[in-house]
Chain A
Amino acid sequence: MSNHVFKVEGRAIPIRGNDIDTDQIIPARFMKCVTFDGLGEYAFFDVRFDDQGNGKDHPFNEEKYQGASILLVNSNFGCGSSREHAPQALAKWGIKAVVGESYAEIFAGNCVAMGIPAIELSHEAVEEIIRLVEEDPSLELTLLVREQVVQLGRRTFEGFIPPAYRNSLTQGTWDSTSVLLDAPEDIDKVAARLPYVSGF
């Protein structure tokens, strides 16, 4: 299996709003689990369902967005808790990439650690893409990681993926454990020079 992430293609689903926190993406009560399996059905639970469990107006409940794999968001998406359960829940629902204005730092790091590209676009570009997708949810989007662009039909929207994230996705090193374990002597050398490890 190749770990290289060069592009993600698929239909998109818009979640409008700034500062959408990870408590909204996955309420804490659903984190009472020892695996990430099954989190998909709880994504955005409290904004999708009322107290009685009846579906509310929410894109994740709408038939036309089922099967979408690219999440469209506004600014500071994923703020709050460091819970990887948030991107895990989105991924289990079917999300493979995020297109938005900006992301909270830990959320962005968690996405990359899972091989999910998150590209930053201008407010105007995001609004335009959301408008087009709301008009026609069957539209196919393409996110190109190295080129940092989102393509939609003949339109191309330029964006930004921080270089280190872009590299780790395209180099296939986003799952960093084996890379980090690659330099055992260097790790020991650093440990040995730290006064609080080696003894003051």
Chain B
Amino acid sequence: MGRNLFDKVWDLHKVRTLESGQDQLFIGLHLIHEVTSPQAFQMLEDRGLTVRFPERTFATVDHIVPTKAQARPFGDSLAEQMMLALEENTKKYNIEFFDLSSGKQGIVHIIGPELGLTQPGMTIACGDSHTSTHGAFGAIGFGIGTSQIRDVLASQCMAISRPKVRRIQVNGTLADGVYAKDIILKIIADLGVKGGLGYAYEYAGPAIHELSMEGRMTICNMSIEGGARVGYVNPDETSYEYIRGRQYAPDGEDFDQAIAFWNSIASDEDARYDDVYTLDANSLSPMVTWGINPGQAISVDDHMPSVSEMQPEQQEVARKAYRHMEFDEGQAIRGTQIDVAFLGSCTNSRISDLREAASIVKGRTVKSGVKAFVVPGSMQIARQAREEGLMQIFEDAGFEWRGAGCSMCLGMNPDKLQGREICASSSNRNFIGRQGAPGGRTLLMSPAMVAAAAITGEVTDVRELKQRASEPAHA
């Protein structure tokens, strides 16, 4: 029987089996940011250790960066202190840092792929749970805590047990107006927020391989929301074309040899899996979350579920969700009024996300009373979007255009919900308080759906707006 990509990459990077039974795994690419790294550097100092492979670690700043007033020192002295710590640590240990003056700063999971740092067959670690994003290229990305960052800095390795592998086969074709975000929200709704515990997810099948790299990144990004620490897609021509010509990508003859290596680590046709789950893309509709975890998602056409019909262990969280959201069982999700529309985050702030959203927004106006803003994932995406005229489309419609960062995905910078505001968000978590206000309410959806909600002021099936846009103006 053949081997899957996960096992091939794991075995290639395995240094040895430790006495505990865990494997010592070499980490090919280590990405760091300002929030989870300062304590790790301090631990190194306390132990008199140094960074063993500084050329394999890259840094950026994203979580605390203000997206509006980016001049230094930052208005928030704590944010400034974190920025200073990262500047000092990267300088001291000779780690490349894509800071605000580099022109390449952005969300860590956006810039890794964008710079060609992320490549198939790598092991990748970062002190952020959305490191699974990089799996879109056929890499194995682990979100890690600060003690493990210390381990990777000191040894370029981590101690870890091998998970099982579940293949998630997505057949069929997505309908117009249905996106990668809808696939992953559906998978999490079906398998549950802890369905992936102990598993790495391999996303496969025609609907996955038809996606752009951006779409694949969206799916792998949210693996962790379904409990799977790792998610990946086997590399193919689409992956190679994305990587070709990027700053850190191999070039010339090296690129051809790289492709041979990349092809070799893809799952064999007859590869073995611990579990297989199959989903039909043809039947998918746009998805929206109604609750307080990403598994509480329904199709935009659906009504909110009845608690008594749920599995017993889901009922308590569902009741908590209804209390927090102030929604009622059986209520339609469509038509839910929103206060804020947030287009951004490591899940959905890439150029194709902005293009899709702009195509909905074009020639329309943000509903009065809705605060709508776009936060591109990186400085490079921001530049490209300006050049393509997307920024103008958003601004003409009444969106605010911001600088790159994590922004309102989490409450660590000035972009926060206020009070009980409801936000249509292209981000990844609808946990209570996640967007910065303890009473804030988050509805997760695709970027095109966020754009549609911004225009109408309520949860709207984006397919209706698409239809209207394609009709003659006088009709």
- Listed in ascending order, the chain A residues whose CB lies under 8 Å from chain B are 17-19, 21, 23-24, 27-29, 31-36, 46, 51, 75-76, 79-85, 87-88, 102, 104-106, 109-110, 113-114, 123, 162-165, 167-168, 171, 173, 175-177, 179-181, 183, 186-187, 189-191, 193-197, 199-200
> Is B250 at the interface (CB under 8 A from chain A)?
yes
Q: Are B129 and A82 in contact (CB under 8 A)?
A: yes
Tell me how far the C-beta of B372 lies from the nearest C-beta in chain A, rounded to whole angstroms.
Answer: 22
Q: Are A196 and B26 in contact (CB under 8 A)?
A: no
> Is B20 at the interface (CB under 8 A from chain A)?
yes
Chain A residue nearest to B256 (CB atoms) is A200
Residues of B within 8 A of A189 (CB): 15
> Is B475 at the interface (CB under 8 A from chain A)?
no
Tell me how far the C-beta of B227 lies from the nearest C-beta in chain A, rounded to whole angstroms.
Answer: 7
> Is B386 at the interface (CB under 8 A from chain A)?
no
Q: Are A46 and B12 in contact (CB under 8 A)?
A: no
> Is B13 at the interface (CB under 8 A from chain A)?
yes
Q: For A177, give its contact among B151, B432, B433 (CB under 8 Å).
A: B151
Q: Are A46 and B438 in contact (CB under 8 A)?
A: yes
> Is B320 at the interface (CB under 8 A from chain A)?
yes
Q: Are A33 and B432 in contact (CB under 8 A)?
A: no
> Is B412 at the interface (CB under 8 A from chain A)?
yes
Tell me how far the C-beta of A183 lies from the nearest C-beta in chain B, rounded to whole angstroms.
Answer: 6
Q: Are B127 and A76 in contact (CB under 8 A)?
A: no
Tell me how far the C-beta of A36 lies from the nearest C-beta in chain B, rounded to whole angstroms.
Answer: 6
- Return the CB mask of B428-466 against A: 1 if under 8 Å, else 0: 010111101011000000000000000000000000000
Q: Are A33 and B157 in contact (CB under 8 A)?
A: no
Tell me how far the C-beta of A16 lies from the nearest C-beta in chain B, rounded to whole angstroms.
Answer: 8
Q: Which residue, B160, B314, B317, has most C-beta atoms of chain A within 10 A? A: B317
> Is B194 at the interface (CB under 8 A from chain A)?
yes
Residues of A within 8 A of B42 (CB): 34-35
Q: For A195, give its contact among B64, B261, B410 (CB under 8 Å).
A: B261
> Is B128 at the interface (CB under 8 A from chain A)?
yes
Tell me how far the C-beta of B472 lies from the nearest C-beta in chain A, rounded to whole angstroms.
Answer: 47
Q: Which residue, B20, B24, B227, has most C-beta atoms of chain A within 10 A? A: B20
Q: Are B22 and A82 in contact (CB under 8 A)?
A: no
> Is B177 at the interface (CB under 8 A from chain A)?
no
List B residues 329-377 near A (Cβ within 8 Å). none
A187-B15 contact given A105-B227, A180-B24, CB 8 Å threshold: yes
Residues of B within 8 A of A109 (CB): 144-145, 148, 160
**How far is A107 from B360 in the complex, measured between Cα atoms in Å?**
39
> Is B82 at the interface (CB under 8 A from chain A)?
yes
> Is B70 at the interface (CB under 8 A from chain A)?
no
A32-B148 contact given A167-B21, A180-B154, CB 8 Å threshold: no
Q: Are A200 and B432 in contact (CB under 8 A)?
A: no
17 contacts between A and B (CB under 8 A): A18-B314, A24-B431, A24-B433, A31-B412, A34-B38, A51-B438, A76-B193, A88-B146, A106-B145, A114-B147, A168-B20, A177-B49, A183-B16, A187-B26, A187-B155, A190-B13, A200-B261
Q: Are B39 and A36 in contact (CB under 8 A)?
A: yes
Tell me how far the C-beta of A29 lies from the nearest C-beta in chain B, rounded to whole angstroms.
Answer: 5
Residues of A within 8 A of B150 (CB): 177
**How far is A97 from B13 in the complex, measured between Cα atoms in Å?**
32
Q: For B81, give its contact among A34, A114, A162 (CB under 8 Å).
A: A34
Task: Report the count of interface residues on B (CB-CB < 8 A).
Answer: 86
Chain B residue nearest to A23 (CB atoms) is B431
Residues of A within 8 A of B436 (CB): 28-29
A23-B316 contact given A76-B197, A183-B16, A191-B53, CB 8 Å threshold: no
Residues of A within 8 A of B227 (CB): 76, 79, 104-105
**How far is A174 from B56 in the complex, measured between Cα atoms in Å?**
25
Q: Are A193 and B12 in contact (CB under 8 A)?
A: yes
Residues of A within 8 A of B24 (CB): 179-180, 183, 186
**How far is A35 from B161 in the complex, measured between Cα atoms in Å?**
28
Tell me how far the C-beta of B290 lies from the nearest C-beta in chain A, rounded to whole angstroms.
Answer: 15
Q: Are A75 and B155 in contact (CB under 8 A)?
A: no
List B residues 18-75 near A (Cβ within 8 Å). 18-22, 24, 26, 28, 35-36, 38-39, 42, 47, 49, 52-53, 56, 63-64
Chain B residue nearest to A190 (CB atoms) is B26
Tell me how far the C-beta of A99 lies from the nearest C-beta in chain B, rounded to whole angstroms.
Answer: 18
Residues of A within 8 A of B38 (CB): 34-35
Q: Are B119 and A196 in contact (CB under 8 A)?
A: yes
> Is B207 at the interface (CB under 8 A from chain A)?
no
Residues of A within 8 A of B410 (CB): 23, 28, 81
**How far is A73 from B158 in the complex, measured between Cα atoms in Å?**
28
Residues of A within 8 A of B258 (CB): 195-196, 200
**How far is A194 from B119 in the complex, measured between Cα atoms in Å?**
12
> Is B198 at the interface (CB under 8 A from chain A)?
yes
**How far is A49 from B78 in the complex, measured between Cα atoms in Å?**
22
> Is B156 at the interface (CB under 8 A from chain A)?
yes
Q: Which residue, A82, A114, A163, has most C-beta atoms of chain B within 10 A? A: A82
**How far is A34 from B41 in the complex, measured between Cα atoms in Å?**
10
Q: For A183, give its contact among B15, B143, B317 (CB under 8 Å).
A: B15
Q: Are B47 and A177 in contact (CB under 8 A)?
A: yes
Residues of B within 8 A of A87 (CB): 145
Q: Which residue, A21, A176, A186, has most C-beta atoms of chain B within 10 A? A: A176
A32-B432 contact given A83-B145, A186-B16, A196-B121, CB 8 Å threshold: no
Q: Are B144 and A106 in contact (CB under 8 A)?
A: yes
Q: Are A194 and B155 in contact (CB under 8 A)?
A: no
Residues of B within 8 A of A191 (CB): 26, 53, 156
A18-B76 contact given A176-B159, A180-B151, A196-B121, CB 8 Å threshold: no
